[in-house]
Amino acid sequence: MKARIKINIFKYCIILILALFSFLVIKVNVFASTWKYVWENTVIHVPLYDEIKLYEDIPKATLYRDNEKLDANIVYLKEGDWLHFLKDVNTSKTGTYYVWYKAFEYDKYFPGTCNGYKALITFIVEDKTPPNIKIYLNEINERRIIKHDEKRLNEILNNNVSVLDNYSQVEISFIHNIDLSVIGRYKVFVFASDQDNNINSNEFFLNIFDDNYPIIYFNAPNDYLKIAKNAEIDIKSYFQAVDEVDGDISERIIYPEIDLSKTGKKEIEVIVKNSGGNITKKNVVIEVVDDVAPIIELVSNFITLDYLIDIESLNLVKYISKIEDDEIINYDNLTISHNLENKVGNYQIFYNYNDGVNETNEILDVKMISFNGPTIIVNEVVINEGEYVNLNDFIEVTDPSDNNVLSTLTINDDSVNYEKEGIYYAGVYAINSSGMSTTKKIRIIVNKKNNNLMTIIIILCVFLSLLLAVLATLFGMYIYKKYKSKKNIDI
């Protein structure tokens, strides 16, 4: 038995030694192996304004052991470190950006100890989109000028083109052989290039023609001019003629004769011709008018009227002192309006005089008031000494011109002694909105307090008490008598 136990112990020792030996061999082989990461796609091109999130997964690492590629489960840290971070990549600005990436393999290899586990990734934000050239008109028509003007030509070409680019400054250039003084159809080539050398092109045509007509300007609204009668004025000063080639040709305008001594309207035609023989005509209306405005003088700027006045029969003309004009005064040209009402308040009368050319306006301010004060009706007040009374209950205030006159009621009863027998008077005052007031006195009689009533009340109380006592005695005697009668019957 002991021998068998020794054999088993020996066997287990041999197995333990072999296992330890195997572990040491494997451990030696592990530490003896060469591990490394090899990175791919470490330079990434990112279009301008694109999201960096779409490109952050492109860089990849492959794990090798002894130069043999492993099927590894690699995880990455992409945020970056040590001055190079993913958050610093600005996709709205072209340029080169760097980010530190790290690769880890937790299953097959302890992370961070083999070669190449960290790589500097390059993100290149670049603009590959050429500028967009927009042509407003495929054909531009311009009149010929007497001498070529390069500055004007550049304005014409640039005004027909707009260029949009997503980032860079754009340089625009034109290729052509245009001469603004020579009639023809010219082809214009447009080129646009940005800072990243993205180039685009387009084209349009410029037609130079000559159908130039002068322009006549008339310095009056709607080609209608009013001139004062007998005015010392030169009609030519209101006109100007301009031609694109000849320039200012106002001195070539031909005018008809105009008589400024007579009022009235007249349609006239002025004519001008440029050096190319093109003729322009313009019809305008000139009216010779009386320029002296009439004057209305009122007897006053303010009047006061009784609000009960008959407005319909009111003579409003009488408030005019005079009307002056350089023409004969015609009262048919006088217009009078108003907003008067038979109510207390402020109103206006409007006067207008129009002589057919000029008009004048005046306003007369009117104040409608009441010439009567409020009506106050009072009733005599009779009270006992110490008795409370509301004097408003004995007063009535009315005014047909002022519905709120009651709110102005004032009672002065300072001289009334409500605690002492006597005859007193209190002042009553009210004023309406027209400033008219009324004052009255209300008579107040204070009687001596009557003590006989209390005596009568006491006597009545004593009498009632005695009466109740007699009634109670009679009732008791009645009950007692009835009780004795019943007792005798029972016996």
Choose among 196, 355, 225: nearest CA to 283.
Answer: 225
Helix, strand, coil percent values for the chain (each to nearest 5): 20, 40, 35
Phi-psi domain of 49 (left: phi exceeds 0; alpha: psi -120 through 50; beta: other): left
Mean pLDDT of 12-21: 57
What integer pLDDT is reported at residue 28 of this predicted model? Answer: 39
- Average pLDDT of every residue of the chain: 86
Three-class SS of residue 245? coil
Whether 118 shows a pLDDT value over 50: the answer reads yes
Mean pLDDT of 447-475: 78
Q: CA–CA separation, 279 vs 313, rounded Å?
A: 65
pLDDT, tens digit, for every residue of 26-73?
343 444 578 899 999 999 999 988 899 999 999 999 999 999 999 999
Higher pLDDT, 319 or 233: 319
Q: What is the β-pairing status of strands 161-164 and 132-135?
A: antiparallel
Whether 172 shows a pLDDT value over 60: the answer reads yes
Q: What angle do CA 451, 454, 460 make, to 5 degrees?
A: 145
Element (H, E) at 199: strand 199-209
Three-class SS of residue 31? helix
What integer pLDDT is reported at residue 84 of this predicted model? Answer: 94
Q: DSSP letters along 341-354, please?
A: -SSSEEEEEEEEEE
What integer pLDDT is reported at residue 168 of this predicted model? Answer: 67
Whether 6 shows a pLDDT value over 80: the answer reads no
Decide if 120 contacts 81 (C-beta within 8 A).
Answer: no
Higher pLDDT, 195 or 256: 256
Q: CA–CA separation, 92 vs 62, rounded Å?
A: 32
What integer pLDDT is reported at residue 85 of this predicted model? Answer: 94
What integer pLDDT is reported at residue 18 of this predicted model? Answer: 55
- Poorest-pLDDT segment among 72-81, 341-350, 464-473: 464-473
Residue 24 pLDDT grade (very low, low, confident, very high; cuts 50, 70, 90): very low
pLDDT, tens digit, for every residue of 196-231?
788 999 999 999 887 788 999 999 888 888 888 778
Q: CA–CA separation, 411 vs 265, rounded Å?
A: 74
What integer pLDDT is reported at residue 328 of this predicted model? Answer: 85
Higher pLDDT, 458 or 473: 473
Mean pLDDT of 382-390: 92
Q: CA–CA separation, 180 vs 152, rounded Å?
A: 9
What integer pLDDT is reported at residue 362 of this predicted model? Answer: 94
Residues of 266-279 as b/e, b for ≥16 C-beta within 10 angstroms? eeeebbbbbeeeee
- What is the pTM assigned to this prediction? 0.39
Choose among 371, 335, 340: nearest CA to 352.
Answer: 335
Decide if 76 contacts 101 (C-beta within 8 A).
Answer: yes
What integer pLDDT is reported at residue 429 of this predicted model? Answer: 96
Residue 455 pLDDT grade (very low, low, confident, very high; cuts 50, 70, 90): low
Whether 440 shows a pLDDT value over 50: the answer reads yes
pLDDT, tens digit, for every residue of 327-381?
789 999 999 999 999 999 999 999 999 987 788 999 999 999 999 999 999 999 9
Residue 237 φ then ψ, to 5°: -70, -15
Decide if 286 contacts 225 (C-beta within 8 A).
Answer: yes
Residue 20 pLDDT grade (very low, low, confident, very high; cuts 50, 70, 90): low
Higher pLDDT, 144 or 384: 384
Residue 116 pLDDT grade (very low, low, confident, very high; cuts 50, 70, 90): confident
What integer pLDDT is reported at residue 196 of this predicted model? Answer: 79
Whether 113 shows a pLDDT value over 70: the answer reads no
Burial zone of 150 (CB within 10 Å; 0-12 exposed, 13-18 middle, 19+ buried) = exposed
Q: CA–CA separation, 157 vs 204, rounded Å?
A: 9
pLDDT, tens digit, for every residue of 288-315?
887 778 999 999 999 999 999 999 999 9
Q: CA–CA separation, 20 vs 13, rounded Å?
A: 10
